[in-house]
Amino acid sequence: MASVTLSDVRKAYSGFEVIHGIDLEVQSGEFLVLVGPSGCGKSTLLRMIAGLEEITDGTIAIGDRIVNDLPASQRNLSMVFQSYALYPHMSVRKNLAFGLSNLRMPKDEIARRVAEAARILQIGELLERKPRQLSGGQKQRVAIGRAIVREPQLFLFDEPLSNLDAELRVQMRVELANLYNRLGTTMIYVTHDQTEAMTMATRIAVLNKGNLEQVGTPFELYNSPRNLFVASFIGSPKMNLLQGSSNGTDIDLPGFGTLSAKLEAGAITVGIRPEHLQIGQAGDVAVDGTISLIEYLGSEIFVYVDLPNGQNLLAQAPGNAKYHRGDRVNLSFRTADAHFFNGDGLRVEAAA
């Protein structure tokens, strides 16, 4: 296992900077997920850690060694890509062993590592098959096994599940989490899917336009987002955002009325998670609206409500709730469940 330290890491292409001074400490033995929308720089950052992209400025250290000028082959890490990149003419066994054979490793050691990877990933019965005889999930296991056999101090994953269908993605998320628990090796995982991040990570780093917005546990990011971007990006479905203004002691929320909260005077955005937006129950503030859409998910439903001011809000309700499109409903929430953001989009806390 190894820690990874990024200090003021920058990347520019032809003078155009795409990574803007990232400072990040990845602890030894943790599963850190880099998450953000497409084009935010997460894969570029991962490739710089791997040694596949040169950094423009700053330092990257793996353990206590700065690796800025160290080639990828000497960084003692393994990387799993979005594409499986298996050799089609080789069996699974030979695909797993190929990299070790190139390192002139003794045959008995290669056999031991291949057998151990096959045991961990439960692909022992596939060792003599060719890639064309494998399903997508089996191919991904082989790709991961090819990384495992190297027994690195650091695993890097670049959106490894994006080519799989929805059901298989869920299954592979569980398998990757179990793999991390068994190996205990430091892992850095890139995805644009915040559900993947929330379900697998010990900590999450949220990126946006080449900037690091927040680093924390899934619980911290969901319950205490540092700014509006993190609040909007983390959570599925998204947080409801209401525009208002504070006079120092109260917040005027058009349509809802007045919310008591001691904040600095000025523009305020109030965020409410769908599970905290109550239908037909008492709350600190409330508004009437009309149901425009209902999404039934079995154990729960998502109710979209149009307000008189034209805004659409999303509330979560139990799956056995009896609502219909066109129903008039009352929405409310408690002050204790609200998140507050100032005019700059930064989180602020109400004074007691």
Is 68 a residue whose pLDDT tops 70?
yes
Give the number of other Cβ atoms within 10 Å of residue 331's Cβ: 24
Work out the average pLDDT over 197-204. 95
**Which two three-digit tokens encode residue 30?**
């943790």
Cα 277 to Cα 7: distance, rounded to the nearest angstrom: 41
Work out the average pLDDT over 25-43. 95
Q: Residue 139 in 3-state DSSP?
A: helix
Amino acid found at 338: A
Work out the average pLDDT over 98-113. 92
- Residue 41's nearest CA partner among 16, 65, 63 is 16
* Per-residue pLDDT at 141: 87
DSSP assignments along 144-186, one per residue: HHHHHTT--SEEEEESTTTTS-HHHHHHHHHHHHHHHHHH--E
Mind listing the pLDDT tens digit for each residue in 275-293?
999 999 989 999 999 999 9
Cα 344 to Cα 114: distance, rounded to the nearest angstrom: 53
Q: Which H or E run contains 19? A: strand 16-26
Cα 259 to Cα 299: distance, rounded to the nearest angstrom: 32
Partners of residue 13 on adjacent β-strands: 16
pTM, rounded to two decimals:
0.91
User: What Cα–Cα distance (Å) separates residue 7 from each residue in 3, 55, 64, 190?
Assistant: 13, 11, 13, 19
Is 318 a residue whose pLDDT tops 90?
yes
Angle at CA of residue 161, ends 149 and 166, nearest 5°: 140
Whole-angstrom Cα Rg for the chain: 24
Taking each helix axis from N to C terminus, what angle separates 107-121 and 166-183, rounded to the nearest 10 degrees?
120
Work out the average pLDDT over 108-130. 92
* Per-residue pLDDT at 352: 67
The DSSP 8-state label assigned to residue 50 in this structure reads H
Mind listing the pLDDT tens digit for each residue in 298-317?
999 999 999 998 999 999 99
Mind listing the pLDDT tens digit for each residue in 140-172?
889 999 999 988 999 999 998 887 788 888 888
Cα 266 to Cα 254: distance, rounded to the nearest angstrom: 15
Partners of residue 305 on adjacent β-strands: 291, 313
Under the banding of pLDDT at 50, 70 and 90, the label for residue 82 is: confident
Is 269 a residue whose pLDDT tops 80?
yes
